[in-house]
């Protein structure tokens, strides 16, 4: 039996859904309420880190494996760069121009709505993906490198 005791496992299996949902909320509503891509991404990563601590590394890897996490990291980074490049391609205003806001939403009353602020929610999603995947990757890679992880697991068997 890898990981921690049955109490921690049960509690974390209940709490992980709430943490994940809260992370998604923080990322999606980053342009309206306090929060944003960075903090939301950290919460999303902490959900997987909790799984890793409670159930052991293999279980967390089954949920989000290392190749998938590194691909999510790259997708987030490329999405953020693509949003910036779209501003450059769309108009003469240049790199990181908020083109959705000025082209489609400027003459509508969209303040305090979920669909508002143009590229800012999209950038929040991209950064949330990137930060979440990369923080999970850091913990995963460091735990792979840790040599005495198997010693802890054998202690649990006795």
SS3 content of the chain, % helix, strand, coil (to 5): 75, 0, 25
Tokens of residue 83, six digits: 């949003």
Is position 31 an interface residue for another protein (rule: CB under 8 A)? yes
Site string for another protein, 94-113 (x = CB under 8 A): -xx-x--x---x----xxx-
* Interface map 36-65 toward another protein (x if CB under 8 A): xx---------------------------x
**Shortest spacing between CB 128 and another protein, in angstroms:** 11
Round to whole Å and give the CA distance between 5 and 31. 40
| Contact call for residue 116 and another protein (CB under 8 A) | yes
Residue carrying the six token digits 């999405």 = 79
* Residue corresponding to tokens 């006795």: 158
**Mutual angle of helices 119-145 and 66-90, in 10-degree steps:** 150
Which residues would be at the binding site for another protein (CB under 8 A)?
30-37, 65-67, 70, 73, 77, 80-81, 84, 95-96, 98, 101, 105, 110-112, 116-120, 123-124, 127, 130-131, 134, 137-138, 141-142, 144-145
């Amino acid at each position: 039996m890898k990981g921690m005791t049955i109490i921690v496992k049960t509690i974390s299996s209940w709490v992980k859904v709430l943490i994940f949902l809260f992370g998604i909320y923080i990322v999606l509503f980053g342009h309206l309420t306090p929060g944003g891509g960075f903090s939301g991404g950290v919460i999303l990563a902490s959900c997987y880190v909790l799984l890793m601590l409670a159930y052991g590394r293999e279980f967390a890897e089954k949920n989000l494996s290392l190749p998938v996490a590194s691909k999510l990291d790259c997708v987030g980074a490329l999405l953020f760069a693509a949003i910036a490049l779209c501003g450059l391609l769309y108009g003469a205003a240049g790199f990181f121009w908020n083109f959705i806001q000025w082209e489609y939403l400027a003459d509508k009353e969209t303040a305090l709505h979920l669909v508002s602020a143009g590229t800012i929610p999209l950038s929040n999603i991209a950064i949330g993906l990137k930060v979440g995947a990369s923080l999970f990757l850091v913990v995963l890679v460091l735990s792979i490198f840790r040599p005495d992880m198997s010693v802890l697991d054998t202690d649990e068997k006795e």
